[in-house]
Structure 1
Amino acid sequence: MRRAVLFALILIVLIGGCLGGDGGTPTSSPEPQFTPPMTKYDVLEEGQEKPVVKALNAFAFDLYRELAKDDDNVFFSPYSIEVALAMAYEGARGETAEGMGSVLHLPLDEDTRWTGFRYLVLSLKSPEGSPFILRSANALWVQEGYPLREKYLWVVREFYLGEVRKVNFQGDPEGAAKEINEWVENQTNGRIRDIVGRLTPDTRLILTNAIYFKANWSSRFEAINTRNETFYAPNETVIVPMMHQTGRFPYFENDDIQALELPYEGERLSMLIILPRKGKFELVEDSLKAGLIESALKSMKPESVEVIIPKFQFEKTYRLRDVLMDMGMERAFTNADFSGISDGPLAISQVVHKSFISVAENGTEAAAATAVTMTLSAPVEKEEPKIFRADHPFIFVIYDRTTGAMLFMGRLMNPKG
């Protein structure tokens, strides 16, 4: 049986406003005059993405710690949230920019940040004939007649590869929502629907990002080997289907953890599972950071491993306003300065992130959506295999081996949710 893996991620930034009537259909402020450089950024060079990947991964662990303060399952896309907020950051100024940049760990140097994001966005694309599908897309939906600065539009187009589309939030908010929802649904092969709900006529701008991944495991599980077994959740034991296979996988262990990498076909994307030893989950989670992941990956070597992991499926909804404010992004929500986008006094009012993941014999399926609303105000050796029995809580990351970017991150505390 072929194993299909799908990851879908949407990222939406809603920018609203209460301006008095819009006239005509300008898409940029007439002042100050901006002339984009013609050749400075034409060449992509390997390594340009490293500063923004470092920022993305650092933000991933910061946010994970905030979302993991209870015993629930966790799943989110750090890539989605980082890209959406980075696009908003490009128009932030003063203390608003300082707070957002610090929380997102963004490079202060524009050239470094811009070329890094462009390289990363362009690299998240599977070549023709590839055994996997990987793509991402950005779009900017702007109220007809609402003036945006030329430089801001140029940054979104040039470095985030964002389309710019006009819609009528004021006169036909339902029609605008329908158009955006259709775009999102198309970008995610129908996995994310109705990401935009009821829009008010005050809406001025929506930034959308979508990432889609579909692949087979390099080494697939067989359904015939799946059987019901016990999973030891924090406060109960549950009986769940556990998948089995034995093969050679990148593997590492020490006194605190076992780490296993399950590559997908094409060998570019992998799922990394960090399985704390029983009784050490909190210790490992408290020490979780990018350095721990990097160290585990560098220490891995191919081993014969008997892999036992549960089938699981769950979805999450996060309202991140308070979380992001606690992390240091207060000014983006109160007394914000987004004058790099427009003259209007814009501020973020809410950040909502929704996600879904399913892991089974025939593959992994995942989807995530973020809404950031802004308003005015070799031969197998004969050896004893290592036993990797994930029958208790574990942490997992889906990452891009080429750039090191973490696309999805989560933990499984209870397969039954």
Structure 2
Amino acid sequence: AMLLLPATVLWGVLLSAHCKPPGDHAATLAEGSWALGLRLYRALRNGTQPPENPLLSPLLLAASLGALSQGAGGATAQQIRGLLGAGAMTPDALAGALAGLLDELHARHNASYALHAAGALFTSKGQSPRQAFLKEAETRLRLQHATLSPGDKQGSLRALNAWAERATQGAVLEVAKEMPASPGALLVNALHFKGLWDREFDVEGIDFRRFLGSKYTKVAMMHRAGIYRHYEDLEKMVQILEMPLAGGSASMVLLLPLHVEPLSRLEGLLTQEQLTVWLGRLANRSIGVSLPRAIFKIQSLSDFQKQLAALGMADAWDGARADFAGVTGQKGLRLAAVLHAAALELGPEGAPVQQEEELQNTRLFYADHPFVLLVRDNQTGALLLMGALDNAQGSALHDEL
């Protein structure tokens, strides 16, 4: 039977030894980002059309939903806050905690990684938000606002995608391929994360190997050996590897099945409790790491409307039940979609290796088949990114999973 840990223990493990615990409310929201990310990831992958190479930012999504909830009332507000794990917080406590998390995150831009992340609420002309809501949303919670012309779908689509391109400094060129069919406001996120490893890979050692994913491809693989936190669960048949990014303020956690297989079995194990057990058992070991260079240029577009509704945020989409009177000053506003574009970029580059590490009994972490990835912010413990690599871009080989 799986070990079920108390919430305080669970959070302590997810936070990890090198995190600085945030304040109580911020800690609750950071923990909530893991619950939201895992639930949303599983809902995406269990859907009728599961995306390939999915990528999402639970923290950015939580921040935008939390900002929107400041203008929500009644059951609409309760459902959004419940989804964030903030059901017991006052609106002011929620706003303060979110603002603290976002400030922490953006403060490390350029110091540890390049992060361009933004959220915006797009409403139709005639549904302009109140100034009081805009001031709170934009100044404290970084949620921008823009208007769209409901009769001009192509013009609205161009405006959405131009906003995403500006928000990510050209890294994300589109946040949607078409406008939602139903009318209503759009909550939109765009994120580009570019990091450096704390220890660089040897560029000269890059070679071409097979990646045995949803398509068999020949891809550039990068290699390095070093001391990393690692755990191998022989019963669950999975390896877990934590690789720090430059400066140590964020880490990449990779979950790799021991054998070549689609990710559905591993994804069925992904609960917060199971992750807690795995992360709690990580220990420093000599590891030879081989990763496809292609992994670290992943982009994903999503509309989370169906998934969020299924996870309990039911009223926001219904014109008769949605209560966003605090946004516009009157009832009638509803959401049509929650659009999310995320891009992750990590190559072989990293900090120069200052001294050789003493390696003994080196184990292999050979990622030549699909795996799940997490990016954890080590200062706050929040889940910044979650995704998977099903298929690595490269020249086609013949067999497939």
Instruction: Tell me the TM-score range normalised by the shorter chain.
Output: 0.7 to 0.9
1:61-210 equivalences in 2 (<5 Å): 61-69=38-46, 70=50, 72-110=52-90, 111-126=92-107, 130-134=111-115, 136-137=117-118, 148-149=129-130, 152-157=133-138, 159-162=140-143, 169=149, 184-193=164-173, 195=175
SS where residue 384 of structure 1 aligns?
Answer: coil
Contact kept, 8 Å, 1:137 with 1:161, in 2: the verdict is: yes
1:298 equivalent among 280, 286, 296? 280
Q: Can you list the C-alpha shifts for 1:110-150, whole angstroms capped at 9, x where unaligned?
A: 14322210110111123598353446555667778756446
1:256-405 equivalences in 2 (<5 Å): 256=236, 257-278=238-259, 281-312=263-294, 313-334=297-318, 335=320, 336-342=322-328, 343-362=330-349, 380-405=357-382
Counterparts in 2 of 1:112 and 1:287: CA distance versus 1, 3 Å: farther
Counterpart code for 1:74: P
SS where residue 49 of structure 1 aligns?
Answer: helix
Structure 1 residue 87: Cα displacement: 2.2
* In structure 1, distance between residues paired with 2:85 and 2:109: 33
TM-score (norm 2): 0.75
* In structure 2, distance between residues paired with 1:238 and 1:168: 42
* In structure 1, distance between residues paired with 2:216 and 2:128: 57
* In structure 2, distance between residues paired with 1:331 and 1:52: 22
* Aligned counterpart, 1:15: none
* In structure 1, distance between residues paired with 2:390 and 2:26: 33
* In structure 1, distance between residues paired with 2:187 and 2:171: 19
Contact kept, 8 Å, 2:122 with 2:148, in 1: the verdict is: no
**Bigger mean CA deviation after superposition, 244-253 or 97-106:** 97-106
Contact kept, 8 Å, 1:262 with 1:272, in 2: the verdict is: yes
| Matched positions, count | 356
Structure 1 residue 65: Cα displacement: 0.4
* In structure 2, distance between residues paired with 1:303 and 1:350: 45
Contact kept, 8 Å, 1:253 with 1:259, in 2: the verdict is: yes
SS where residue 335 of structure 2 aligns?
Answer: strand
SS where residue 341 of structure 1 aligns?
Answer: helix
Contact kept, 8 Å, 2:212 with 2:260, in 1: the verdict is: no
- Which structure is larger by alpha-carbon Rg, 1 or 2? 1
Structure 1 residue 362: Cα displacement: 4.4
1:254 equivalent among 220, 224, 233? 233
Counterparts in 2 of 1:227 and 1:350: CA distance versus 1, 3 Å: same
* Aligned counterpart, 1:50: 27
Percent identity over the alignment? 26
* Aligned counterpart, 2:384: 407
Q: Structure 2, unaligned stretches of length 5 or more?
A: 1-21, 395-401
Structure 1 residue 349: Cα displacement: 1.4
* In structure 2, distance between residues paired with 1:183 and 1:151: 23
Counterparts in 2 of 1:413 and 1:213: CA distance versus 1, 3 Å: closer
* In structure 1, distance between residues paired with 2:119 and 2:293: 32
Structure 1 residue 386: Cα displacement: 1.3
* Aligned counterpart, 1:228: 208
Q: Can you list the C-alpha shifts for 1:30-70, whole angstroms capped at 9, x where unaligned?
A: xxxxxxxxxxxxxxx74441111122210100011011135
SS where residue 404 of structure 1 aligns?
Answer: coil
SS where residue 374 of structure 2 aligns?
Answer: strand
* In structure 2, distance between residues paired with 1:243 and 1:221: 7
* In structure 1, distance between residues paired with 2:284 and 2:37: 27
1:24-35 equivalences in 2 (<5 Å): none
Q: Structure 1, unaligned stretches of length 5 or more?
A: 1-44, 364-377
Q: Can you list the C-alpha shifts for 1:85-115, whole angstroms capped at 9, x where unaligned?
A: 2222222222323333333433332143222
Counterparts in 2 of 1:356 and 1:396: CA distance versus 1, 3 Å: same
* In structure 2, distance between residues paired with 1:205 and 1:309: 41
**Bigger mean CA deviation after superposition, 215-224 or 349-358:** 349-358
Q: Can you list the C-alpha shifts for 1:2-27, whole angstroms capped at 9, x where unaligned?
A: xxxxxxxxxxxxxxxxxxxxxxxxxx
SS where residue 392 of structure 1 aligns?
Answer: coil
Counterpart code for 2:217: V
Structure 1 residue 231: Cα displacement: 2.5
Counterpart code for 1:399: R
SS where residue 243 of structure 2 aligns?
Answer: strand
Counterpart code for 2:201: F
Once superposed, what is the RMSD of the aligned Cα atoms? 3.6
